Structure 1
């Protein structure tokens, strides 16, 4: 990476308000939006699939345990390719991995309704596992592409924009799935719409998407230079930098990021996969209202995530807070805020629908701060290995995503019992609190020394010989690569 003074980097910034990096951010935003919509589709869809009010479409007599098995099956496949995908994306770029992820997801969604009729819940689980395997390629690739395309000074804003697509996808799916399921088209239309959206995105991505500015046909030379000078990524390029596994796995800041990711996944996915069921069995909300009320907390998360990203970027760029302090503050908002709100929800008297929805909205809304917390720590620590690190933490975190619906099946004996659901919320509270505490103690925002590859012995020997032969030239070139 070439070192530049801040004023020199600012001078390189293109005059146009929107550049190719913004187009890439928008495409990645659409990827997270559509991919999360396909994940969430089953959360509402399964309620319709097991409901008598299906407008002539097949109804499945699945027990609570079977339903939780279906809901968790996505994550069985999701963990398989996380680490390999991160490694491959880190070395060769994420463009085609993202294309494969979204394309396969689209096809599986189109097949799922037929598979459900022909093969019952086992076939549905098979489809969800394949979908999980394919989407396991997405986030490690996204993280690597963001690390290559997004300058440090814009990382909080554009990074949040990309990942907040997950909340928009959740909102759209929770709103539309209930409406589609309750219409004459029935629950199959939920999966058909999701599949078409995935394939549509894939066509646009193959035309405009690229792993890095260096491989883009559409970017201007000035914008490319501005990004490369201000992204913290190596000019070495993909495929040439070995992964320093020993340094990564013995790094406390990396472990702080990993544990924060695990705590986030358990708490978030417990709510995401089980919220529709909680609304139905505890709050007695019908399928149509279910999708609308279930979406409200994610509307709050989506809106607040942009406020948090703007505030974080403002505080850091104005030198009011150090970057690491910003990461700690917003990650604490994202973890400890929901923990406190969940404690309040646990002791809420039964029948108080309005207050329950308000608390759930606060719980999920505050969680939007994690986009400028641990989610960007991978890139802070090592832009060159961000995709590999993201694959590792997302893979381990996915195990806790699997445990989320399964823990509900294990803990909740009576689906209408508020006290049983309280135990589920207590588990999430404990994970939120303890994992963020570790994050506060050990995280840093400094680029780690293992981010850059060490020069080989051959290169070092060559440099020494060159200096011995041309000492005058060496002295004249000192500082040559400093702007």
Structure 2
């Protein structure tokens, strides 16, 4: 028999061969890569409308041969927010199904439906105008609500605690990568000879291909995987023993304990602040660049994607530094709070600086926007992964709760932007939005610093009793 030390856990192989160490590529890494691709396609489907809606409402910015619609700013804000109407409704049911049925099958089915509805958007616009487009987007939200609860549930079973920041961040980074590819590709397709409808057809088709791949090759956990080696399975199981995680056991979710936990509320507030800032900027940056910086749709899509490319690239050194700090003895709580501070107070400072930058200095404005969005990469090692820190057994349900609250904020943020910005060419109105977003970023992170925690909570184990004070 051989043994290998993993953190504080001694991991042994009964077959006499070496265990799969953290640095070796194994089945868990393949599963994480599939999750990364799933996040990438989910966000590509979710945000391609942010760029395409510019061409759908203004033919002069794209291919003039395709039909456009007389949509004002309020109508466009409703269309952009409608995804989250459905997304909010099915968060909690998705969390329950992911935890008690199958996260892998739930995500496969949800993304299949979402892909089909995305491909129906051009027909909906042609025959039903903006109301039918909203209906498609609501349906996409309903079906994609399973994304984060499913991923969190699978991550809690596949990723050892010692690799949590790196592998968890890589999976979540698919969101930024999906944004990076969706924005410029959407811009180029909308301006091409095949026009803006091709945006929905191309991304819908690629997403369907991923759905088939994930349904065949994905697995809920190492115990259900047919590809994993014995040694790697043992490595993962023994790694979880240090947290007393019963990841394969069915248990009753402690809803009351979760909802009355202050560290949980710290995550909820941080997630809502993140949702406000992320979706406010994501949905409004293309319009800002079109109206204030006078970019055509090709350049608009490319420049709008640049901040998210920076965010994606920064996610890797930040996640590595987080795991390195933990190995060197830093507490998990401290690491999560520092990461979240970079993610929220950094962009807050950048947005304030943006209000003082001359609007005609395009290079400076774009650089500040890159910082405002790019530093947000720290959130993946901050509040996002903190769900699993607090309770690996209930991570999917916890993500469903926080994501439900965050989805409500995502509905409100573009609508409020539509109320504030009555004239897209008025830079002062844009400054109001930037100041408001900076204030929300500052307050939510302050609460996370004060009340956030990094250790496993007593209610993670359903057989545990509440500790005496």
TM-score, scaled relative to structure 2: 0.94
Equivalence for 2:222: 213
Residue pair 2:156, 2:247 contacting (<8 A) in 1 also:
no
Q: How many residues of Structure 1 are paired with residues of Structure 2 in the alignment?
A: 452
Shift of residue 387, structure 1, vs aligned partner: 0.2
Shift of residue 198, structure 1, vs aligned partner: 1.2
Equivalence for 2:211: 202
Residue pair 1:233, 1:383 contacting (<8 A) in 2 also:
no
Q: How does 1:27-38 map to 2 (within 5 A)?
A: 27-38=34-45
Q: Secondary structure at the match of 1:395?
A: helix
Equivalence for 1:73: 82
Equivalence for 2:161: 152
Separation in 1, partners of 2:154, 2:56: 38
Shift of residue 112, structure 1, vs aligned partner: 1.2
Measured at CA, do residues 186 and 257 of structure 1 come closer, stay the same or move farther in structure 2, by a change above 3 Å?
same
Shift of residue 4, structure 1, vs aligned partner: 8.9
Residue pair 1:34, 1:169 contacting (<8 A) in 2 also:
yes
Separation in 2, partners of 1:233, 1:41: 42
Task: Please tell me whether residue 389 in structure 1 is matched to residue 395 in structure 2.
Answer: no
Q: Secondary structure at the match of 1:259?
A: helix
Deviations 1:282-312 (A, max 9, x none): 1111111101111110111010011100111
Task: Please tell me whether residue 42 in structure 1 is matched to residue 53 in structure 2.
Answer: no
Task: Please tell me whether residue 277 in structure 1 is matched to residue 287 in structure 2.
Answer: yes
Task: Please tell me whether residue 9 in structure 1 is matched to residue 11 in structure 2.
Answer: yes
Q: How does 1:319-468 map to 2 (within 5 A)?
A: 319=329, 321-454=330-463
Equivalence for 1:135: 144
Separation in 2, partners of 1:283, 1:31: 33
Separation in 1, partners of 2:399, 2:222: 21
Residue pair 1:93, 1:144 contacting (<8 A) in 2 also:
no
Separation in 2, partners of 1:4, 1:290: 47
Separation in 1, partners of 2:108, 2:170: 20
TM-score, scaled relative to structure 1: 0.91
1:25 to 12, 32, 36: 32
Q: Secondary structure at the match of 2:10?
A: helix
Aligned-residue Cα RMSD (Å) equals: 1.7
Higher alpha-carbon Rg: 1
Separation in 2, partners of 1:223, 1:141: 22
Separation in 1, partners of 2:19, 2:424: 56
Deviations 1:218-271 (A, max 9, x none): 111211111122134744625x20010111111110000110000000011000
Q: Secondary structure at the match of 2:59?
A: coil
Q: Secondary structure at the match of 1:48?
A: helix
Equivalence for 1:237: 248
Separation in 1, partners of 2:186, 2:44: 10
Equivalence for 1:110: 119
Shift of residue 420, structure 1, vs aligned partner: 0.4
Shift of residue 38, structure 1, vs aligned partner: 0.6
Measured at CA, do residues 5 and 317 of structure 1 come closer, stay the same or move farther in structure 2, by a change above 3 Å?
closer
Shift of residue 350, structure 1, vs aligned partner: 2.2
Separation in 2, partners of 1:203, 1:416: 45
Equivalence for 1:480: none
Separation in 2, partners of 1:51, 1:236: 51
Shift of residue 13, structure 1, vs aligned partner: 4.0
Which moves more between the two structures, 15-24 or 385-394? Answer: 15-24
Separation in 2, partners of 1:208, 1:120: 39
Measured at CA, do residues 68 and 279 of structure 1 come closer, stay the same or move farther in structure 2, by a change above 3 Å?
same
Which moves more between the two structures, 227-236 or 154-163? Answer: 227-236
Shift of residue 455, structure 1, vs aligned partner: 7.3
Which moves more between the two structures, 259-268 or 413-422? Answer: 413-422
Unaligned runs of at least 5 residues, structure 2: none
Separation in 1, partners of 2:45, 2:12: 40
